[in-house]
Structures are given as structure tokens and as C-alpha cells.
Structure 1
Amino acid sequence: MVQSGFGSIDVKNYNNQTMAEIIAAIDANNAAAGKDIKATFTTSTTDKMTYKVLIPDTATAENPAPAVVIMHGGLSNKDTTAPIFIELARRGFVVVAFDAMGHGKTDKSVDALTHNTMGMEAMVELAMSMPCVDETQVGVTGHSWGNNGSAAVINVINLGGENPKINAWLCGQGTMGIYDLQPGAIDGVTFGLSVGKYDEIDATYVGSYTFYSSPMAIGWIQEVYPAFSETEVPLGVWFDAEGPHEVEEGTKFDGVGGRVLYQPANTHPGALFSTTGTATNINFFYGAFGVPSGAQYISSSNQIWGIYIAFLAIGLAGWFALALAVCDLLLFTPMFRRLRGSQTALIVDDRNSLSSFRDPKESVPLLCMFILLTVFSYVSMVPCTTAGAKLIPSSTFFPNAAHTSGALGYWSFITALVSLLGIYIVSQVKVLLNRKDKNYQWKSPLDPAKLPMDKVVQSALMAFTVFCAIHLVLWCIDAVFNVDFVIATIDFTTFRPVKIFVMFRYLLLCAPFYIVNAILNANARFRDLPEWASTAIVCVGNVLGLALLLFREYSALFSTGSLLTGEACSTFTVVWSMLVPLVISPIIARYTYKRTGNIWLGALLNSFIFIMMQVGTGQYMIEGIEITMFGL
């Protein structure tokens, strides 16, 4: 309801549309509207794109509106831009958001078919052809890598000469795309530049903290207003050949080729997940096009996308709970009931066999291990992800981008080995501490993982069944409501079935972490400590090291404008998404352990869910790499 403006906006997802089908849609739109928009991209009956179109009820063939085409950044998909497309659509703009090449459900091969615009050429021409769109008022915007796509499509369309020009571009945060512009492509185009003050990428490459006073910013204004001689570019002020102009929000800038600089106080992910980042988009496109005919002016401070995100968060919590409920149901079926830890009750009653948390010989070694593992996470994330990007490059076998899936997979694998070593050392320390206690009985910390191989296989099959069941729900939600569970950098979405085979390959890197973490979780139980409390200890232990690392880096960024480890700026933008798996996985592992008496069901279910979180959204961008079933 929020996405559709409570019924005033028509929202449709177009999943897996071939390039030929998009050309057919452009031809049909041309016939209906009497237009002559050329499809300059290459047709194909096999290569596919996925996109979303939002059409306000004020945009009609009789009253066409401006359109904005949005491209997301790397390791994302179209729904990461939800705050922007929700707010622009409710203000009367037609909006097209799409999965770029190699992301979401769009094929990587689409890039070559669209003159290396990542698919954006097809989306801009589709938007221009719509009867409800004024083809002379089409703008583009992007985030991070999406700016490269925006610059590429401006080069192709504005210098191609067959279709109307793109006449507005807001280069969002992650501004390196402006270097891709070709001479003349931006002439006469309304051009906005948004450089996040605390943007990790922009801080490293363009000095975003004081960008407004940099030679780059001053030179950018002087390109249209050579007489500009100030030492700082005033934020939010529009410039053209005649000089500076104060433009009231909701009023169209009357000049030609106007430029305006913004500096929202955002991090890189915050560009698409903040009121300031969203307000920048609203302010710019109001200035570029004015208030669309028939629509009402709505202040940029009046934003409702937060309600949308709140409902997504509730739905996502319910989705995880659903996974646990499906586990319970399957344990009553003939196929899986032998996995139950107790044949007389669903919950395993083993608390009397556990040690006491009040016994320092039991609790102190475990807490010391948690502290040491926290320190390891803190010191290892940057060097491990840096090494992982080099040691596990993108390939047909591991097709995701090396600096994300390869890097984090390597860190997960090394952390699993170190954690396993820690579990063993703690068990031996307990033996030493209890050597004088004749009644002490040593228990192997690996006991929770002991299971006949046929039951391990059965646990894997059950975990995969649960995984498929809950993702079927995502497909139903996508089909009925045109919504995915995407919150900032957290993606739980529908995906191409072939990516399941990619997930299985990344299990080699990431599953050891979830297996060892489940073993550690099972060993962190005590008869006099509530289950929720011991689970919380594991959750905190999982994230504390990374949280301290992020606190260190972002404290420096906010106070000085630079990360302490600037060369790892892209890593820090991705680490935030890791916090969710690290908090949720112990809860799933503990819940399933209490029902089966072993760690395998929870460990493998976590592996499937959270590896697909990375794989499903895509990001395979290296030339010559395609997704194949076996990765050969």
C-alpha cells in the first residue's frame, strides 16, 4: 500500500523479460502514443531483464509526466532503491527501477546488448516510449556503480541522435561515474552531483568531507559558469552560464544546463536509506522538471518510505519465524521424524546433563574464548577480506565479485578454522582445571555434531526443503504485492533457479563457519542459564568484533572525513549486511538443536539462507564470466 501510494500508483514488476519482449513493448507503446522511439539496443529471445515500473494516476497519455530511470549500485538490485522510487512516484513522476546486468534476475549478457550500459539503454528507451511519459523530460540517477551506468547511457543516447536526449542526471553518491562521460554528452543537461559527506567511497577517492571547496567541485561549476571565483561551491544553489540561482523546492530551474551540488550527511549505504539522501533526489528532480502536471507539490521533508521499511522488517522477522515453524512441521512427517532428538516430545530435555554456569571452571574458559574470537574478528576482517579478494578471484566456479563474496567467504572460512581451534583448546583447558575432580567426566565438544552419515544427508535434505518452502513464499509475495525483502544492503529476494547451483559452490567457503558456529552454540549451554541468555551470548560474540571495527572506522570517518583503513572502503560498506546473519544464525541453530539434538539441521539451513542472501542478488560483472550449472 505504501509503495502504491495507497492505490494512486500503478506498480508492476516485469520479471525475466527478454530483450525481444522489451522491444515489442516499445513498439506497442509507440503505436499507442504515436511516438517514434527507436530501440537502439540488440534484440534477443534468450537474454532477460527484470524491472519495476511505477505510474502515478496523474500520468496519462493525455497528461504525460516526466520519468526517472534509477540504477542501483553493486551487490544490490532494483528494490534497494525503494525509498527513492516510492517518494518520486508519489510526487507524480513515472519511475523505472531495474536489476542491472548480472544482478538480481537480469543476465550479465545484457550489458553487451545495450552498448555497455548495464541494461540502462533499454530501460530509458522503454520509459521514453510509454504513453504516460513526456519523452523530452526523462532523467536518470544511480547509486555507486549505478552512476557508471547512468554516464554510459547518457553517452549512448545523447550522442546517438536517434531518440530525444536524456535531459537530467543526478549523479548519486559514489560519484566516480562522472569520469566516464564523453565530451558533449552532458551539454545542456541539468546535472546534479550528490557527494555524501561521510560516504566511504567518496571520502576515499574525492575527499567528500570538504568536497565543496575542492578544485574538482570548483572546476565542475566553472565548466558552465567560467566566472565563478569563490573558494567554496554553495550547496543547493543552481548554476548556469548566467551565474548562481536560488531555486525554491518544487520550482523548475529555468536555465539551460544547470548544475547543483549536494552534500548530504550520509554514508555510502545511507544514500539509499536516509531521509537526506531521498530528499536530495526529490529536490533535484523537482528542480529539473518542476511539479508534474496534475500532481501536488509534496515537501521533501514529507517522506513515508520509512513505513514501508518498517513493514518489511516485520515481514522479514515473520519470514525467519516461518522457517522455524516449517522445521517443526517437517519433524512430524514420516520422512523426517527420525531426526527428532526425542521421539516422545518435540523438544529435547537435556538440561540436567549440562554443566553449571556458576562453576568458573566451566564458564570462564568459554567466556575467554569468546573474548579471543572477538579480538580475532576485529583484527582479521580487513586483512582476510583483502587476501580473499586476491586468492578467490571471480571465475566461472565462483562467479560473484571477488571483493564481496570471495572476500567474505575467505574470512568466514578462516574464522571457522580459528573457532574450531578455540573450541578444542577450551575443552582441554577444562580437563586441566578439573584434573583433581574424580567425578569429572570429559565430553567432547564435537558430540553435538556426531550423527550417522545417513542422518546428516537427511538433515541436509530437510534444510533444503525448508529453504525452498520459505523462498516459495517470497515468490508469492513478489507476484502478488511486487515487493522483495530488501532493506538497505540486506537482500532476501527471489532469484534465478540456476543460482541455487552457485549457492552450493559457495557452501565450500561459507558453510564451515555456520557448522562450527552451531557447534560452539551447542557448547555454550548451561543448566542454570536460560536458553535465551546463552543464545544472546553467542549472538553478541558473533558480532562484537565487527561492531568494534565498524565503530573504530566510522568514528574516524565522522570526525576527520577519512576512514582509518581507506583502502578497505568497499569492504566496510558490505560488512553491515553481515551483522544480520551473525545475529540470526545462532537463534536458528539453537532452536533446531533443541528439536533434533544435533547441529546439522540448523547449520545447513543457515548456510542455505545466508549464502543465497549474497548469491541471489548477483554481482557477477567480470567479462567472460557467466553463471553455469556446474561452474565449469
Structure 2
Amino acid sequence: MGMVLVLGGSALAWKVQTAGGIRVTEVTFAGTGGTPMSGLLYTPPNATAATPSPGVLAVHGYINSRETQSGFAIEFARRGYVVLALDQTGHGYSGGPAFSNGFGGPDGLKYLRSLPTVDPANIGLEGHSMGGWTVLAAAATMPDAYRSVVLEGSSTGKPFAADGSPVWPRNLALVFSQYDEFSKLMWGVDRAKDVTGSAKLQAVFGATGPVQPGKVYGSVADGTARMLQTPATTHPGDHISPAAIGHALDWFALTLKGGTPRPASDQIWMWKEAGTGIALIGTVVLLLGTFQALLTLKLFAPLRQAIQPTASARDGRWWRGVALSALLPAVTFFPLFILGMVALPANGLLKQAITNQVLTWAVVTASLTLGLAALGKGARPGFSNRWPLSLLIGLISVGVVYGTLELVHRLFLVDFRFWVVALKRLSPAQAGLVLVYVLPLTLAFGVTLRTLLARIPVAGESNLARYGSAVLALSGGFALLLALDYGALFLTGRLPTAFDPLSTVVAIQFLPLTALMAVIGVFTWKRTGGYAVATVICGLLLTWYMVAGTATQVV
């Protein structure tokens, strides 16, 4: 069943991204100083050497990758544009450290212009968040090499882009969502809804008062056109917002010549998102199914042991255990992420800043959990752990998933993802980093799983209750944290954790990830009576997930 979901969802995603004869290929090229650069190239059937078409450089934001831009890329290509969805330096499969070489933007624009299928007089630049700074670096380096720009949730000016003005960059559209978490960083306003009154934005638009959304300022012919659009979504929500994508389509339709006109409302990218989302769910089914099948083999027979739940009822002690398991990781998340940023920056061994923050949070929280457990009293759980066999079955189970991802990449050129939650192939450099991070992260996850399975399962309970309780215990704190955070944002326009908006966005991913840990933990415990298999699987899977999905700052 898992393989059916993986292959069926991936085939659907491939069908959508190649609709109408669009050809999607993986491209690599040498950037500045020989830095290897990577991207996905979308070529519509109308684009040939004899009939070159407009080109669009589309770039993702920080700690994302080229596939995050697929909604934009699919729709640009359906309108007859050749699209290069670029991996920034230090991201995805591009080399170099993150932030280097103008984030890779100038190299991406140079490569796009070199293609015989692209009309160099009609180039559009589109970037989300830090991807906006990437395309602005390209515009600053090659000021006559593009025709118009769309910044999605991004800005001109410091810290990483040149200052904007009424004449630079050329023909600029800003799509800045009403609930963007980065409004202070980007445009100097506490609430994204107040961006129209940003002095910085007014200077770029040449306006003497609040900028009016939907109004064209300046002149397309003179290259001074400006427009602001404010869809009702969040910063990461731009990726899956028909409105945010539609505004980019309208701007390029206005400012680029050529292509195949379509109304902005004609969008199909969401079916690609559905396909890779189905494949992502199928990955979990495949993982657990592989483990179940392996467990029937004689080699792994010693792992099959009866379970011994510690709790006999959902009494006050049980609920206190659930509350502690749920709240501790959520309460420590922001303080420890900030600690990790300050105390464990990227270095020659631990080369990824965000993964270092995750590592700090996971290890310190695990230490606190052990300390609290030592102070408590109660029945000692009876676990059956056979670590060598658990390591072997875990390696094989995760290996089957990775092999399937490699197969899907070769067949359909997609990964397993929904929105910003993605399981990607590892580059050789990233595979090396997995070996560095996997042991401490696995040990930390092991503490979490042991604590969960010692506290939560109740004797005689149903499967639904058992899985539901485990998910509540691991994910409930993040669900509450995000509900309070985004509830306040949607009601007041102010994000309570605006002091660290990046970690706020990162926290979204931990809601499904902690739920996945709970499911894997209960599923394997029910069949082995221990937490060792779950520890190995979660350690491998989540380390792979984090290393492949974030940025590398040191090479």
C-alpha cells in the first residue's frame, strides 16, 4: 500500500508539472569560482532556439530548496516562460556556503540568459524571502539583463540587498502578505498589514503617502513601474496561495512580452502539491510496512516481544505525564533555539546553523527530561531492547524509503513533500553531515521515546486511544504554541514571537514531525516491547530530514 501511494502520488505530481508538454529537467552548471550550481529547468513546448521565449529565474527562501518554488514555476511555464528554479548556494544540491556569491543569483541569471530557448530581452526575476535578495543580487550585478521583478515576502535594502528606489530595481512588484511574520525585518513595520505606511516602501515607490495595493506606480515602458499586492496569508503561506502566485503571474503578463496568455485564476499547481503530499504519506506507510515485513523473518524473531504498559489507568499522574511530555519541548523551543544560535554557530564540524539549533534544543530538552525523571517516583517500565538487531532493522527500513526516493527522482523528478515539510535526497556533502549529526540527535530522540512509552500507554486501551495519546503527548505542546502564536497574529496582526520569526516558521514543521515520532514509537513498541527500533528509525529519518532540508554555512 505504501509503495502504491508513493508511486501514484509521484506520478500525479509529474503529470501536473509536465502538463501541456512542459519538459522538466535537472540542470547543473558552474558558478562563480567553479561553485557547482543546481536547478530545475521548466521548458514549455513553444520555447525553441528558433522561437525563444521569455525566461524567469525563480528562487526559494532561506532553508528551502528549488522544489518549494514549484507552484510558481509550473504556472510560469504554463504561460510559455522558460523557468529556472534555482537552488541557492549552500542549499539543496548547489555547493558553496549559504549567502555566498550573491546567494547564487547572478550565476543563475547568467545561465538562464545563455539558453538558446530564452529571449534575453524578456527576463523576469521572482524570489521568495531570501530568494528575493538572491534575484536582487542578480539585478544589481547585471542591471541590463532583466525586465521586471517580483518579490514575494521579501524586500530591498539591508541586511542583504541593495537599497531600492523609484528607478531600481526595474519594474518591481511586491507581494507582501497581510500576516507575514517578517514584516519588521523586511519593511520596518510591526504589523504586515501596516506595510503600506512603511517609509522604506514609500521611498521605493516614490510615494508621498501610504502605498495603495493594486495601483501601478511609475511606467512599465520606462522600467519604473511599481505595484504592491497584499494577499491574506503568511510568509510560508505564499508558496501555497493561489492569490500570491496569481499576483506574480499578472505582473509578468504586464511586464514581459511573449509567452502564452492565461488568466491568473487558471492554476493547476495544487495538484502537484497533492501528489507529492500523497507520496509523503505513502512514505510513512512504506516505512512501517517494511519494518513489519522484516519482523516476520527468522533473523528478527528475537525482537518480537510482548508489551508491558506501566500505566493502569488515566489518572492524575498519567495526565501530568502527558502534560509534561507535551509542554517541555514547546516551552524550551524558543529559548534553546536562541541559545543554539549564539552558543553553537556553524563551524568546521557542525556546518549547518539551523541543525545546530535543533541539536541544542533536542539535547538540552532530553537532559532536562532525564533530570525530571530521576526526581520522580513510579513503576519502572519493562522494556525489551535488542540494540544490534534494532539497529539493523532500522537501517534496512529507512534504507528502503531512501531507495524509493531515489527511484522516484529518476522516474518523475519529484521529492516527497507537502508545503515546507519535505523529504529530499541527500547530496554527497549532506550525507557526510548526517554521519556527524545522527548520533547525538538519535540519543536525544531516544530519551524522548523512552519517556513517552514509559508514561503514556495504558493497559487494555484501544489502538485509537493509544496512538491518540502518544500524538497528544509529543505534539500537543507544539499545537498549543502554534495556535496561540498564529491565533494572536490573525486576530491582532502582531506575532507574539516576532523576536525570532525564523524559528517561528521552523516550529511549524515540528508539529507533524513530533506526531510522526509518536506513531513510529507506538507502532514499533507494540511489536517489540521496546523503544530501541523507534529510536534508530527516528534518529536516521529525522536527521536525514533536517540535514537535507536546511542550509550549509561552512564548506
Q: Confirm or deny a common fold (TM above 0.5).
A: yes
Whichever residue aligns with residue 216 of structure 2, its letter is W
Please state whether the residue corresponding to 2:103 is helix, strand or coil.
coil
Structure 2 residue 253 is the aligned partner of structure 1 residue 268: no
Structure 2 residue 551 is the aligned partner of structure 1 residue 619: yes
Structure 2 residue 202 is the aligned partner of structure 1 residue 218: yes
Cα-to-partner distance string for 1:519-570 (whole Å, 9 max, x where unaligned): 2343322232112311211111212212222222222222332212321111
Structure 2 residue 56 is the aligned partner of structure 1 residue 68: yes
The Cα shift of 1:68 comes to 0.6
Cα-to-partner distance string for 1:477-507 (whole Å, 9 max, x where unaligned): 1111111123222120111134233123223
Cα-to-partner distance string for 1:44-84 (whole Å, 9 max, x where unaligned): 3xx42221000111222232211111111111110011111
Match of residue 175, structure 2, among 177, 194, 211: 194
The Cα shift of 1:378 comes to 4.0
Cα-to-partner distance string for 1:200-227 (whole Å, 9 max, x where unaligned): 11245522221112222222221xxxxx
Distance 1:610 1:576 in 2: 15
The 3 A distance-change label for structure 1 pair 267 and 182 is closer
Please state whether the residue corresponding to 2:84 is helix, strand or coil.
strand
Distance 1:485 1:130 in 2: 29
**Equivalence for 2:7:** none
Match of residue 316, structure 1, among 280, 285, 295: 280
The Cα shift of 1:144 comes to 1.3
Distance 2:465 2:170 in 1: 58
**Equivalence for 2:249:** 282
Match of residue 380, structure 1, among 314, 332, 350: 332
Please state whether the residue corresponding to 1:95 is helix, strand or coil.
strand
The Cα shift of 1:188 comes to 7.3
- 8 A contact 2:394–2:533 mirrored in 1: yes
**Equivalence for 1:180:** 161
**Equivalence for 2:303:** 340
Decide which moves more: 608-617 or 455-464: 455-464
**Equivalence for 2:218:** 240
Matches within 5 A, 1:75-114: 75-108=63-96
- 8 A contact 1:174–1:268 mirrored in 2: no
Distance 2:45 2:451 in 1: 55
Structure 2 residue 357 is the aligned partner of structure 1 residue 407: yes
- 8 A contact 2:91–2:98 mirrored in 1: no
The Cα shift of 1:182 comes to 6.5
Distance 2:472 2:226 in 1: 47
Matches within 5 A, 1:117-136: 117-136=102-121
Distance 1:356 1:188 in 2: 64
Distance 2:391 2:167 in 1: 54
Structure 2 residue 46 is the aligned partner of structure 1 residue 58: yes
Please state whether the residue corresponding to 2:223 is helix, strand or coil.
coil
TM value normalised by structure 1: 0.79
**Equivalence for 1:246:** none
The Cα shift of 1:601 comes to 1.1
The Cα shift of 1:476 comes to 1.1
- 8 A contact 1:339–1:459 mirrored in 2: no
The 3 A distance-change label for structure 1 pair 509 and 52 is same
The 3 A distance-change label for structure 1 pair 144 and 325 is same
**Structure 1: which 5+ runs fail to align?**
20-40, 159-163, 223-227, 242-252, 343-347, 431-441, 627-632
TM value normalised by structure 2: 0.90
**Equivalence for 1:37:** none
Please state whether the residue corresponding to 2:102 is helix, strand or coil.
coil
Distance 2:513 2:463 in 1: 19
Please state whether the residue corresponding to 1:495 is helix, strand or coil.
coil
**Equivalence for 2:521:** 589
The 3 A distance-change label for structure 1 pair 137 and 561 is same
Structure 2 residue 480 is the aligned partner of structure 1 residue 553: no
The 3 A distance-change label for structure 1 pair 66 and 533 is same
Whichever residue aligns with residue 304 of structure 2, its letter is G
Distance 1:167 1:239 in 2: 16
- 8 A contact 2:154–2:186 mirrored in 1: no
Distance 2:297 2:335 in 1: 46
Matches within 5 A, 1:441-480: 442=379, 444-445=380-381, 447-448=382-383, 451=385, 455-480=386-411
The Cα shift of 1:254 comes to 4.5
Please state whether the residue corresponding to 2:482 is helix, strand or coil.
helix
The Cα shift of 1:364 comes to 2.8
**Equivalence for 2:138:** 153
Distance 1:578 1:484 in 2: 19
Whichever residue aligns with residue 512 of structure 1, its letter is L
**Structure 2: which 5+ runs fail to align?**
1-13
Identity within the alignment, %:
21
Please state whether the residue corresponding to 2:142 is helix, strand or coil.
helix
- Structure with larger RCO (C-alpha < 8 A, sep 6+): 2
- 8 A contact 1:175–1:195 mirrored in 2: no
The Cα shift of 1:43 comes to 5.9
Cα-to-partner distance string for 1:348-378 (whole Å, 9 max, x where unaligned): 4x4xx54674x45xx4312112113333344
Distance 1:533 1:398 in 2: 40
The Cα shift of 1:581 comes to 1.2
Whichever residue aligns with residue 94 of structure 1, its letter is V
- 8 A contact 1:416–1:516 mirrored in 2: yes
Matches within 5 A, 1:342-361: 342=305, 348=306, 350=307, 354=309, 357=312, 359=313
**Equivalence for 1:26:** none
- 8 A contact 1:374–1:541 mirrored in 2: yes
Distance 1:554 1:468 in 2: 37
**Equivalence for 1:330:** 294
The 3 A distance-change label for structure 1 pair 414 and 614 is same
Distance 1:214 1:354 in 2: 58
Decide which moves more: 386-395 or 513-522: 513-522
Whichever residue aligns with residue 408 of structure 1, its letter is V
- 8 A contact 1:104–1:616 mirrored in 2: yes
Whichever residue aligns with residue 146 of structure 2, its letter is I
Superposed CA RMSD in Å reads 2.5
- 8 A contact 2:325–2:452 mirrored in 1: no
Distance 1:614 1:355 in 2: 33
The 3 A distance-change label for structure 1 pair 337 and 264 is same
